[in-house]
Amino acid sequence: MTDRLTIALAQPNPTVGKLGHNVDLLLRLRAEAAAGGADLVVFSELCVSGYPPEDLVLKPDFVAQCAAAVDRLALATGDGGPAMLIGAPWRGDDGRVYNAALLLDGGRVAQVRTKVDLPNYAVFDEKRVFTAGPMPGPMPFRGVRLGVMVCEDMWTPDVAECLEESGADLLIVPNGSPFTRSKLDHRHQLAIARITESGLPLIYVNQVGGQDELVFDGASFAMDADCRLQVQLPAFREHVGLTRWCRRADGGLTLSAGERHPPPDGLEEIYGAMVLGLRDYVGKNGFPGVILGLSGGIDSALSAAVAVDALGSDRVRCVMMPSPYTSEDSLEDAAGTAALLGVAYETVGIEPAMTAFEAMLAPLFKDRGPDITEENLQSRTRGMTLMALSNKLGPMVLSTGNKSEMSVGYATLYGDMCGGYSVLKDVYKTTVVALSHWRNQHRPDGVLGPVGRVMPERVITKPPSAELKPDQRDADSLPPYDVLDPILEGLIEEELGADDLVDRGHDRTTINRVWRMLDRAEYKRRQAPPGVKISSKAFGRDRRYPITNGFLSLLGSTDPGDPGAGPAS
C-alpha cells in the first residue's frame, strides 16, 4: 500500500428484494465516501439483496438478478473512485448459492469470499438457503491483505485465526446483526476477543433499518490492534464514516482516532428501535400511515407517540371507541393525548353494535348471564371498526398490546389483537410505563413528534384497566405487573424452571399460574401481528413452542388432567 489508506464504513438501509433501489443506495453512499477521499467503501452483509432475504434465495431468478446488480456496481468502480466491499447472494462455480462478500475494483469483481459459519438459531435460518463456504484467505487490496469475515464468522475464533495465520493485516466484518437490548456491548466484547487472539485491528460494519420484526441498529465501529475504540458510528440511521490507516515501521496498521458517536442506552435504545421499526415497516410496505384505537390507557398512548415520532402527526389517526363502561377519565385522557400529539382524532361509540350483537345472539345464549363473551364482543367490535376504517381510508391498523398481555393471553383474537404491526409486542408492561415517563421527559434526535409531554401524566399513573365491565382492573385477572413481568422474563427469555424462580424469591403458586397462562395462550400468539423485536427472545421465530403441549414438569406435575395442559378454548 501507499503510506496511508482511507476506508469508509457505510451502514445502509436496504430494502429486501428491491434490488434497483439498493444499488442506487449503495452508489449514493459510495459517492459520499468518495467525496471524503475513501479508497475503499465497506458495506454491510447482503446489502445488495437486503438482509435477511430468506426464501427469496431459493428462487434462481432472484439470485440471477442479484448477480446483475453486482455487475452494475462493479462497473461503477471503473471510474477510478473507491473500491467497494459488498454483500450479496452469490452462485459459485459449483452451482451452489453462498452468502458472499465481494470486492469490486477497477470495473470488475476482483475477489470473492463466502461466509463460513451460517447461523441457524433464533431468527436465523441461513443453512436453509445458503451453503457454508470454505475457510477464507485474505483479499489483497492495494498492498493490504484484508481478512474478511462475514457476520457470524466473528462470533467464534476459527475464521479470525485462519486469516491471521494466512497473513491478513486487518479484519473486516460486514454484518446484518439485528438489534436487541445492550447488544452493542456484546459486539464490542467479541471484537476485542478476536483482536486479542489475532493481534489484528478490526472494522465492523452493520446494516441499519427495519425489516419486518427485525431492526438493525447500525452502530458500526473500528478498533485498533490495542483494542481501542477509535471510530463509532451512530445507531439507527444511515451514515458513512471514514477510518484512516497508516503502515507502521514494523509492518502493522495504525488506525487514527475518528468520529465517535455515543451509543444510546437503556430506554433510549429501546425507543429508537421502536421508532425505526415502525417507520420502515410502514414506509417499505407503502402504507400512507397508521390508525389506532386510543383508549385513554398507557399502551395506546405510547403506541400513538411512537407512531407520531416515526411518521409525523399528519400520518397518524386515532379513534376513541367508548362503551357504557368507558370512564370519564379515559375520555379526557384519550382526547388529551391526541391534543398533545397533534393527531386526527375521532370518536365512534360501540354501544349500538353491542346492543345489536346481544339481540342477535339472545336466542342462542338463552338465560346465560354475562361473562367474558360480552367483554370479547366489545373488543372485537372495536377491532372490526378499526379494520373497516383501514379498508376504507387506507392507513394500516396499529395494534397496541404489550408483551405482558400477549404472554398470558390477556388479549382478544380478532379484537385488540387486530392490526398490521405492533410496536409493543416485545415490550413488557413495566417497560411500557418506564418508556412513557422517559418520552414525556425526552425528545430523541431524529423523531417527528413534539417537544415536551406526549401524554397526560394520569395516563401513566392510573391503574390499568380494559374497561370491559364495571370497575374492572387488570389486577383482577393478573398478578401485579411488577410481579408478573420478572416471572415472564425468567420463563421466556431465560427458559428458567419453577425452582430457579422460587430461588429468586417468587411464589411457586404464582409461578405455576403464570406458566399455565403462558402455555395456554400460544395459539393466540401464532395469530398476532408482527412487531418490533427488542429482547433476546421475542414471540415468533425466536420462540417456537408447540400449541398442543402436555409438558408440565415446570409445574412439578405429570397429571394429564392438570388445567394447564391444553390451550384455552
The C-alpha atoms of residue 217 and residue 198 are separated, in whole angstroms, by 27
Contacts of 70 (CB under 8 A, 6+ apart): 48, 86, 88, 90, 102, 104, 109
Instruction: Provide the phi-psi class of 288: left if phi over 0, else alpha when psi is between -120 and 50, else beta.
Output: alpha
Question: Which one-letter DSSP state was computed for residue 485?
Answer: H
Strands 139-141 and 144-148, how do they pair?
A: antiparallel
User: Across-strand partners of 292?
Assistant: 318
Sheet arrangement for strand 4-11: 108-114, 97-105, 83-91, 40-42, 4-11, 239-247, 253-255
Which of 47, 66, 115, 162 is an active site residue? 115
Residue 530: Cβ within 10 Å count: 19
Residue 45 annotated to the active site? yes
Contacts of 527 (CB under 8 A, 6+ apart): 413, 417
Amino acid at 526: R
C-alpha cell at 532: 418490533
Query: Residue 135: what are its φ and ψ, rounded to 5°?
Result: -60, 135
Which of 47, 66, 126, 151 is an active site residue? 151
Question: Which one-letter DSSP state was computed for residue 535?
Answer: S
Residue 269 annotated to the active site? no
- First-to-last C-alpha distance (Å) of the chain: 69
Q: Answer yes or no: are the C-beta atoms of 110 and 66 closer than 8 Å.
A: no
Which of 45, 164, 213, 522 is an active site residue? 45
Q: Answer yes or no: are the C-beta atoms of 488 and 535 closer than 8 Å.
A: no
Residue 425 annotated to the active site? no
Burial class (CB in 10 A: 0-12, 13-18, 19+), 450: middle
Q: Looking at the annotation, which residues are catalytic?
A: 45, 115, 151
